Chains A and B, each alone.
Chain A
Amino acid sequence: MSETHRTGRWFGLAGAALIAVGVGLVGQVPSLVLLGGLGVTLSAYDRVAVPPAANVSIQRSITPTDPALGERVTVALTVRNDGSRTIPDLRLADGVPDSVRVVEGSASLGTALRPGASTTITYEITGGTDRCVFDPATVVVRDVVGVVARRTRVTAEPDTVTWEQPASSALLPLVPAVARRPGTVPVDEGGEGVSFYAVREHRSNDPLSRVDWNQYARTGDLRTVEFRREQSATVVVVVDARSAAALAPRPDAETAIERSTMAAVALVEGLPEDGHEVGVAAYSPHGAWLAPGTSAAHQQQARDLLRTDRAFAATSVTRTPDTTKLIAQLPTAANVVFLGPLCDDDSEALVRRLAASGHPVTVLSPDPTATDTAGHRLARLERRERLRRLRAAGIAVHDWPATEPLEQVTERAWRGGQ
């Protein structure tokens, strides 16, 4: 289906012609009347012009066809004039999916095409986290002057690109909470476990395997080794996906929301392996919530939510999210892993509220700041100060520079650095 419309480019030409004729009559100047004739001729063209037929075919090529997560994809779009008339003005905009960004080249083109001729544009996209479907390309053709246009949508094949998820999993050292089931979160309490905690006097019902036989051989005293007890936790991964978090150090770099979501997917993959129950929540005006769980189906549900729900995509809505509702949804004393750039006071306030509500909070903060301008440097300093204040409040905060992969940050976190 194509629709034709007048662009109004020569709107007013007939009026100017009338003025010329009027002035020519009053001033007895034949040349002005003739000029009016020229205006009328051109106005007549404006009225009778028809746009060329938008008889074009478009072919899209996508390389690589199965990109890994974060990999750039090159899209080449070839448009061909299948009609028998020259198209003097063809403008094309590819239907790039909302969830990806064009980082190199342009997804638009303006050209003129003879019958049978074709031209190609190439551009690169990135930022997709799953299956992305291209919309049909929009094609607008005009006559040579541009007084009339025909708009149509042309489907190009292939129209799908799927970023393969390597299903990278990540683990973060979680902050100890009250004792619940045995698991991997160390608590400051001796008992069953794997890492040494203390040695105490032997009691008659202690298992023989925990008797410190070396000590017995040296001194003849029976003593029992205690290990650090570890427990599994209920974890809720909260992703800051507000417009205030859609920040990146460079226009073509990943935004903090994309990095946070990627880290959330990795945590959702990794944490259940250690027996933790993982839930997902969005700190976004759209809101999203998935209660903690450990099953494979639940894990898949969490992944789908993170990859496809609009609450985890950049939004233009600036409404403040309902933090009270967000906190009320969290299970009692659930571990919270907060993922956000912490570039504004609202996110800092939320982290403090979460901690104040009795939730052990771990913050993993993708750093979106840059140093190219004084303003950017100031924003960087403010963010560092915010991180420092949170650490001072006893919250585990892990800074994630834009140049570091997630694994490096988690490794550092396990080693105890921040």
Chain B
Amino acid sequence: MIPRTGAVCGGAALAAGVVTLFVAGISAVSTAAALVGVVLLAGGQLIQSGRLIDGASASLFLALLVAALQGATTTTVLVAGGATVLAWTFAHAAVDLYADLGTAPGTPVELTHVAGTTGLVGGAVVVTTLLFQLDVPPLSPLALASVVLGAIALTAALRR
């Protein structure tokens, strides 16, 4: 049984996992990987295991990579990516809330967390999708990768 505290986050995590399953499940391999991810996600919450949730998220991410390699559209990849991040975050939040609060009431925290994180990740997905659709001089993948790697380097230099 999923404990009462963390149920909202847990449900949201499963919903996000299912979104990844439907969006990224464009082939047998990606569907299978996403399905494994969703099952592990549910199992991880049942036994309150952070590692299992990490494994579930890795499986969803794998489904996403396979889907992208098999020709999924950019929007599909970004939406599935955002949903994977949400599933991972919500599932960890559910486990963490239960560990902190036990049976104490925590629904306001859960609702705020789900809404706020969805807004943040969803906003990032929308902005990234819109940026891609701007028809500025088309960048080669290598140039795009250079930009991303540069951004990673800059992020790493941000305050810890």
Contacts and interface: CB of A to CB of B under 8 A. Distances in A.
Interface in A97-112: 106-112
Contacts, number: 173
Nearest to B61: A16
Interface residues of B, number: 58
Interface centre among B64, B100, B109, B127 (most CB of A within 10 A): B109
A362 to B, nearest CB: 42
Contacts of A27: 68-69
A88 B68 CA distance: 35
Given A89-B109, A106-B105, A14 B152 contact: yes
A37 B151 contact: yes
Interface in B99-139: 100-106, 108-113, 116-117, 120-121, 124-125, 127-128, 132
A34 interface: yes
B7 interface: no
B85 A42 contact: yes
Interface stretch (B15-23, B30-38, B40-48, B90-98): B90-98
B145 A41 contact: no
A91 interface: yes
B59 to A, nearest CB: 12
A161 interface: no
Contacts of B102: 106, 108
Interface residues of A, number: 54
B75 to A, nearest CB: 8
Contacts of B159: 47-48
A349 interface: no
Nearest to B123: A41
A293 B105 CA distance: 51
B144 A111 contact: no
Interface centre among B97, B103, B108 (most CB of A within 10 A): B108
Contacts of A18: 152
Given A9-B92, A106-B102, A38 B125 contact: yes
Interface centre among B103, B121, B149, B155 (most CB of A within 10 A): B155
A42 B124 contact: yes
B100 A91 contact: yes
A293 B46 CA distance: 58
Nearest to A50: B159
Interface in A271-325: none
Contacts of A28: 141
B74 interface: yes
Given A32-B68, A91-B100, A110-B105, A145 B144 contact: no
Given A40-B155, A144-B113, A106 B128 contact: no
Interface string A144-186: 1110000000000000000000000000000000000000000
Given A12-B54, A89-B113, A146-B96, 13 more contacts: A18-B152, A20-B65, A23-B69, A30-B132, A41-B151, A42-B85, A48-B159, A91-B106, A109-B105, A144-B112, A144-B117, A145-B116, A146-B93
Interface of B: 5, 54, 61, 64-65, 68-69, 72-74, 76-78, 81-82, 85, 89, 92-93, 96-97, 100-106, 108-113, 116-117, 120-121, 124-125, 127-128, 132, 141-142, 144-145, 147-149, 151-152, 154-156, 158-160
10 contacts: A9-B93, A21-B149, A31-B78, A36-B145, A38-B125, A43-B152, A48-B158, A91-B109, A110-B100, A146-B113
